[in-house]
Structure 1
Amino acid sequence: MKIKLLVSLAGAQNAFNAGDEHDWDDEDAIRLIDAGFAVPVSETKIERAVATPAAERRKRDVASSDGNDASN
């Protein structure tokens, strides 16, 4: 099973960085996923569009025209 590591892992023979994708045997891959150390990688890559956030617009702080100011 192909997984993507969320954390760095190191052992006696190997070291893996967070973000690395590797094929692991199913039993160990499931243990790493259950522990929150990895997520499964789907065989078909899906591209996702990311919307650009709209520019923030703020209202101007305008005093009331009838003379009723809440700060009085």
Structure 2
Amino acid sequence: MLLKMIAGLSGPEFNLAPGDEREFDDAEAERLIEAGFAVKAEVDEVPAAAPARKKGKANVVSAEGDAGSE
């Protein structure tokens, strides 16, 4: 079950802040909701994949060569 945290919670496999969302098994999710640590997250739509980023440094050298020496 997908939960949205109301309070911070950390464990050996996660470190969650208020507002973070995480999937928990149903029993653990119900326990966290009853304890007031989380609420069920509203799933509006599937998030779109982020655009691929180029690796490496940006080309900051002029294609003209030494353009600043005029």
- TM-score normalised by the chain length of structure 1: 0.55
How far 1:32 sits from its partner (Å)? Answer: 0.2
Runs of 4+ in 1 over 2 A off after TM superposition: 42-45
Q: Give the structure with higher Rg (CA).
A: 1
Amino acid across the alignment from 2:13: Q
Residue aligning to 1:26: 26
Identity fraction in percent: 40
Provide the alpha-carbon RMSD of the alignment: 1.5
Within 1, Cα distance between the matches of 2:13 and 2:39?
22
Amino acid across the alignment from 1:14: F
Judging by fraction of residues, say which structure has more helix.
2
Residue aligning to 1:44: 44
Size of the alignment, in residue pairs?
45
Q: Describe the superposition over 1:20-68 as per-residue Cα deviations: whole angstroms up to 9, x where unpaired.
A: 01111111011000000000013336xxxxxxxxxxxxxxxxxxxxxxx
Structure 2, unpaired ranges of 5+? 46-70
Structure 1, unpaired ranges of 5+? 46-72
Does 5-14 or 26-35 show the bigger shift? 5-14
- TM-score normalised by the chain length of structure 2: 0.57
